Amino acid sequence: MRRVWVLTLIICTAAGAALVAFRHHSPEPVYAGRRLTEWLDSGAEPATMAVHEIGPAATPWILRKVRREHARWGWWQAYQESWNRTPFLIRKALPKPRVAGYDEFKAAMVLVETGPRGIPQLRQGLREKNPGVKMACALALGAWRERGLGDRQSREALRGALLDEHPEVRQAAAAAIAKGESRPLP
């Protein structure tokens, strides 16, 4: 019975991966002849430079990378765990999982580079299911609030995140709210 379950899981995973691969996406932003995901994989400085130039159009791609590659809540992590449990002969036919390691801190650092016009997308990211995405958005909104660019809608979205089921998200939202409150008044 367990083998049937594993085989079913593998088939469903493969079908899901095929659907994701063939789903129509908006074209990936390009800067200096390289796709945004290439810049995000090439390190902090090149990624921030590229995202600064691309602007808010980079936000969905950054959040997508968090959804896939977060070490705790990413798709690749879940795939790695199921891949490890599959029988060796089936495992040989499946693609080898990638190392998951794009966390909320890396994402928040580049999300801030999208500019203030990206703040509405960050607020929307607080409503996603993935806790890594929520934390990245909260951290980036906190950075904007610290710079004095937080608005009432962002504060309300962060307050809503204080009720999240994940304590890490609640902590990131509380820190972001505190950054805006501790800013000296002009």
Instruction: Compare 133 and 99 and report the one with higher pLDDT.
Output: 133
pLDDT above 90 covers what percent of the chain? 53
DSSP string computed for 42-110: T-HHHHHHHHHHHGGGGHHHHHHHHHHH-TTT-HHHHHHHHHHHS-HHHHHHSPPPPPP---HHHHHHH
Walk me through the domains of the chain, giving residue ranges and CATH numbers.
Answer: 27-181 (1.25.10)
> Confidence class of residue 28 from pLDDT cuts 50, 70 and 90?
very high
Instruction: Compare 139 and 5 and report the one with higher pLDDT.
Output: 139
At position 141, the amino acid (one-letter code) is L
pLDDT at 186: 45
pLDDT (tens digit per residue) in 31-67: 999 999 999 998 889 999 999 999 999 999 999 999 9
Please answer whether residues 126 and 158 qualify as being in contact, where contact means their C-beta atoms are separated by less than 8 angstroms. Answer: yes
The pTM for the full model equals 0.78
